C-alpha cells in the first residue's frame, strides 16, 4: 500500500506537468492512472484495516482484539542511514550495507554510542538497518554522518508493554501498520517497543 501511495504522488506530479504543458492526451492518461491507483489503495487499505483489527496481541481471561494496542510515549530524533535498493535482500547487499554503516560510524566517532544503544535493545524485526539517536552523539559527529548520506528523522516510540503473548502476531501487526520501523524488546524492562521512523 505504501508503495502505491508513492506511485500516486508520482502520477499526480505527471498530471501537473501535463496541465502546465496543456497536453490533453497526457492529462487524460494521468487522470486514468490516478483513478486506478486510488482504487488499488482503497482496496488495500480495507484489507489492512481488517487484518490489523484481527491481530490478537494479548490474552487476559479471554481473547482481546485491539486495533491500537500501544501508547506513543515519546518522539526522538535519530540519524538514519537509508538503503539504496528496492530489494535489499538480493545478493550480499545487506552485508555491504552493514560494513559501510560501521565504517561511517567509526569515521564519525559515533560507533560506541551506536553499539551501546543497540546492546540495550534486542531487535525482533523491522526494515530499518542503520540508525542512532541524535542526542547520544556530538553535533559535529551528526554533521559528519549527514555528509555520508545519513538523514535526521523523527522517530515515534510506541510502547506495547509486557503483556504481548504472541510475538509473531505483533510482528504481523507492525508489518501492516508501519512502513518504516524496528520492533525491539527493551532488555531492562522486557517491554516491547516499536521505533516508528517518520520518513
- Each residue's pLDDT tens digit, 10-26: 888 888 988 888 888 88
Angstrom distance (rounded) from CA 169 to CA 63: 13
Q: What CA–CA distances, in Å, run from 152 to 72, 80, 192?
A: 20, 6, 24
Does 101 score more than 90 pLDDT? yes
Angstrom distance (rounded) from CA 29 to CA 17: 12
Non-local (6+) Cβ contacts of 121 within 8 A are: 184, 185, 186, 187, 193
Does 123 score more than 60 pLDDT? yes
Q: Average model confidence (pLDDT) for the chain?
A: 84
Kindly indicate the confidence band of residue 148, based on its pLDDT and cuts at 50, 70 and 90.
very high
In DSSP notation, 140-173 reads HHHHHHHHTT-EEEEEEEEEEES----HHHHHHH
**Least reliable range by pLDDT among 86-95, 159-168, 177-186:** 159-168
Q: Please, are residues 117 and 194 in contact by the beta-carbon 8 Å criterion?
A: no
Angstrom distance (rounded) from CA 174 to CA 178: 6
Amino acid at each position: 500500500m505504501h508503495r502505491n501511495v508513492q506511485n500516486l504522488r508520482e502520477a499526480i506530479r505527471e498530471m501537473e506537468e501535463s496541465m502546465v504543458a496543456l497536453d490533453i492526451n497526457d492529462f487524460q492518461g494521468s487522470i486514468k492512472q490516478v483513478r486506478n491507483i486510488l482504487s488499488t489503495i482503497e482496496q488495500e487499505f480495507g484489507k489492512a484495516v481488517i487484518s490489523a483489527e484481527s491481530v490478537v496481541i494479548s490474552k487476559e481471561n479471554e481473547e482481546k482484539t485491539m486495533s491500537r494496542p500501544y501508547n506513543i510515549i515519546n518522539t526522538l530524533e535519530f540519524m538514519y542511514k537509508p538503503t539504496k535498493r528496492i530489494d535489499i535482500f538480493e545478493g550480499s547487499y545487506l552485508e555491504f550495507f552493514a560494513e559501510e554503516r560501521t565504517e561511517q560510524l567509526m569515521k564519525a566517532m559515533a560507533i560506541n554510542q551506536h553499539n551501546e544503544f543497540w546492546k540495550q535493545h534486542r531487535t525482533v524485526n523491522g526494515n530499518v538497518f542503520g540508525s542512532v539517536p541524535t542526542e547520544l552523539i556530538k553535533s559535529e559527529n551528526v554533521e559528519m554522518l549527514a555528509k555520508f548520506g545519513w538523514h535526521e528523522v523523527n522517530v515515534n516510540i510506541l510502547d506495547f508493554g509486557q503483556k504481548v503473548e504472541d510475538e509473531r502476531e505483533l510482528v504481523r501487526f507492525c508489518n501492516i501498520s508501519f512502513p518504516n520501523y524496528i520492533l525491539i524488546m527493551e532488555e531492562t524492562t522486557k517491554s516491547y517497543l516499536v521505533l516508528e521512523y517518520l520518513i
